[in-house]
Every structure is written in C-alpha cells, then in structure tokens.
C-alpha cells in the first residue's frame, strides 16, 4: 500500500528544506506562556488595502484562491480572492469549506486534555499500556504526553513509496490504510532518541493520540470531537470525514499542476493515513471560533490549557539543533517581535495557518490553495500576511518571519 498523505510531504520536501533557515529565525527559547502577550502599541493598525493586495497576489505562490480572516481586540478584517472551482469560476466565499491538514491536531490534543481533566487519560501513562499490542516492547518509555508534544522519538515510516511528481500522487490518491497498518510502518527499528529528550514533529504521534481517544471513549475520535467541541461551539461546517474521501457542500477545490502545466483537481482523495493528524475539514470562520474558545478557556481548565502554551524545557531541541517550537497541540512562532500560538496545516492543494497572540489582540486564519510545492514558494503568502499583521514603523525593511512550515 502507498499513501498520498505521507508522500505529499516528500513532494514538498525541497520546499521545506529551502525554508529551514527562515523558519529557524522565528523560534524563541522555551518558556512558559505567562509573559507572552504583546501590548496594543506593538501591533500596527490593519491596512485593508495591503491585506487585500497580499491575498490577491495568486502568483506568489501559484494558487487558485485565498481567504483571510483577522480578528481580535486590535481589529478585524475579512477578504477573499480567486475562485473555488476553476471549471465554473465560482468566487470563493468565507462559507466555503477547506481541508485543514495538521490543524486537526489542535482538536485532537484538546480532546485528549479534556479526557485527562476527567481522569480518563493519564498523560504520563505509557502508550503501550493504553493501546496494548500496538507498539513493541522497546517503545515502553513513550508516554501519551510525548505524543502530544512530539518528543516520542518514534522511528521513520518504512515501506512507504514517496511520489516525486503530481502524476504519481494521483496514481495513489485512493490508497487506503487502517490506523493499525499505518502505525505498523513506524515501528521498525529503535527509537530515534530517548522519549522526552528531543523534539521532532511527526504526524504518527497524533494518529496514535486519536487511537487513544477511540479506546478511552469507545467510539471513533471524530465522534468525540463532534460531541466535545463542534456541537458546543456551533462549528456546523467543521467535519471529521472518516473514510469518506469527498468534501461535501460548498467548498474550495484543491488542484495540482501537472507536468504539462494543466491543473488537475485533487480535492477528492483518501485521507486514511492522516486520520487524527490531518484529515479534518473546516472553514476560516469555524477555525477562528475554535481559537477564540480555546484561548479563552472555554474548552479546558487553566492548568491543562497552560500546557498548550508551554514549550518543552530549553535543553530539549529539535533534531537540527534549533529550539523546540511545539507545545501540546500548538506551535509557537514569533513574527517581528510578536509571539503567536496556533498551527499550520497542509494537504495536496490546500495550505492553512491559524494563529493568535495569547491575549487574542490579534488572530488570523489564512486558507489558500497552492498548486505546486517548490523551493519554499508555497509559504510566501503566509509570510506576506504575517508581516503585514505585525510590522510597525520601527521594523520597516526587516525580513518577514513566518510560522514554522513543518506540518
């Protein structure tokens, strides 16, 4: 079996490598989030003309559409650009659904922490105890908490072909995996590092986290997300699709550029290998509501919410030696001196960023649709928007920093 989810990362591999130095510039040393909020004076006023121009530039990167939603006490703005369907030329609207990729992890982490608050999940419990028979004995030190903040040390996937072209992606778009089959591809060989000593962003951590939700609640993780988050918050356009490869209702199509320059619709494809780590569907308005509720303490008690705004200790570094940048369910990014917390996410034809300052003076949700991934171009729109939202006169001319591009 092969997987479009895993191979999508390989397809974008050169882009991630090309942006590594830029991404490293936005990371702060690990610390508690208690002192993070920026003052109102540190945020520039919103410039609607510049913001619309930023999302109207659908050539850098080549994209078919973009939508941006800005909220918070420092001002709000909404804008769209491009078309939801290149066949009908229907314009994008804020109500259109998109695939949100790794922003799924925010929902899963929140549910696991809710279960921990109820005493139903022990964050320090070995994963092997919670999910018996799934991980080998040599992984006994991996705990639930290690999964949630990407310090598990799980091995790389083995036996997964990685398409290098868009044509190869389409040949594998309907490959299907059970979660157990997918986990098995990441259990060969030893752990890459002792759990809790390093940090490496890995989707497999959240595939396992979703399985923990399955086990503890006795139902698929999507039902727990719906019961605990979607329905209480009124997120009516957010969906956990399960085995359905389609996006239903009004949505923005995703496309990939083929070798002959044509665009081919990649909206419908099997998401089974990204179950729990990147399979959800939502809208910019629903994601903004989710950030607002989460950051306001509507979903978690204070002591567990703090975990989502606390990075690992400073001695724990990413594999490349840069500071750890992932907390429990979120990632941290600093842009022109302003600290954001949130998550990026991408799947073929879809790229997203949902971030907020801790005090919610400035939130933004950006969803757009690059048609190719090469040399970092697919992240230029995030850079433009993040710079406009944070650059004050004293920082004119500084290079824009963007949230981590590792999804």
42-71 tens-digit pLDDT: 899 999 999 999 999 999 999 999 999 999
Predicted local distance difference test score (pLDDT) of residue 128: 98
Whether 366 contacts 349, CB under 8 Å: no
Architecture of domain 4-395: 3-Layer(aba) Sandwich (3.40)
Gap between the Cα atoms of 106 and 339, Å rounded: 18
At 41, phi and psi to the nearest 5? Answer: -65, -20
CA angle at residue 292 from 122 to 223, to 5 degrees?
50
**Which pTM value belongs to this model?**
0.91
Q: Taking the chain, what is the end-to-end CA distance rounded to the nearest angstrom?
A: 23
CA angle at residue 111 from 110 to 117, to 5 degrees?
90
**CA neighbours closer than 13 Å in the CB half-sphere of residue 195:** 20
**Per-residue pLDDT tens for 239-273?**
999 999 999 999 999 999 999 999 999 999 999 99
The two beta strands, 338-347 and 331-335, are: antiparallel
Q: Which is more confidently placed, 223 or 392?
A: 223
Span 280-308, average pLDDT: 98
Gap between the Cα atoms of 317 and 205, Å rounded: 17
């Amino acid at each position: 079996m092969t997987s479009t989810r895993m191979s999508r990362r390989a397809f974008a591999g050169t882009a991630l490598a090309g942006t590594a130095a830029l991404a490293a510039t936005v990371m702060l040393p690990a610390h508690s989030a208690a002192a993070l909020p920026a003052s109102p004076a540190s945020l520039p006023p919103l410039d609607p003309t510049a913001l619309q121009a930023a999302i109207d530039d659908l050539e850098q990167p080549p994209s078919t559409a973009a939508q941006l939603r800005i909220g918070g006490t420092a001002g709000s703005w909404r804008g769209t650009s491009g078309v939801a369907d290149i066949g009908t030329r229907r314009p994008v609207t804020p109500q259109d659904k998109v695939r949100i990729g790794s922003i799924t992890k925010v929902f899963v982490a929140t549910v696991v922490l809710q279960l921990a608050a109820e005493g139903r999940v022990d964050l320090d419990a070995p994963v092997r105890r919670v999910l018996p028979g799934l991980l080998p004995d040599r992984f006994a030190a991996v705990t639930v908490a290690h999964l949630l903040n990407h310090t598990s040390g799980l091995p790389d996937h083995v036996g997964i072909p990685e398409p290098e072209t868009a044509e190869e992606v389409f040949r594998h778009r309907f490959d299907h995996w059970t979660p157990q089959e997918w986990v098995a591809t990441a259990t060969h060989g030893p752990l890459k590092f002792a759990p809790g000593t390093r940090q490496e962003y890995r989707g497999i951590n959240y595939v396992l986290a979703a399985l923990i939700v399955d086990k503890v609640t006795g139902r698929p993780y999507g039902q727990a997300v719906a019961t605990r988050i979607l329905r209480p918050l009124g997120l009516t356009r957010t969906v956990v699709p399960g085995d359905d490869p389609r996006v239903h209702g009004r949505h923005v199509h995703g496309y990939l550029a083929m070798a002959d320059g044509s665009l081919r619709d990649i909206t419908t494809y099997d998401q089974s290998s990204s179950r729990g780590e990147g399979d959800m569907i939502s809208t910019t308005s629903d994601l903004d509501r989710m950030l607002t509720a989460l950051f306001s303490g509507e979903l978690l008690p204070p002591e567990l919410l703090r975990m989502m705004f606390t990075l690992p200790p400073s001695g724990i570094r990413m594999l490349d030696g840069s500071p750890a940048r992932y907390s429990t369910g979120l990632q941290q990014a600093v842009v022109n001196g302003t600290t954001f917390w949130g998550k990026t996410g991408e799947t073929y034809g879809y790229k997203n960023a949902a971030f907020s300052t801790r005090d919610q003076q400035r939130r933004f949700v950006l969803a757009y649709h690059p048609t190719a991934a090469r040399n970092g171009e697919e992240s230029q729109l995030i850079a433009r928007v993040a710079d406009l939202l944070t650059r004050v006169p004293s920082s004119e001319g500084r290079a824009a920093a963007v949230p981590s591009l590792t999804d």
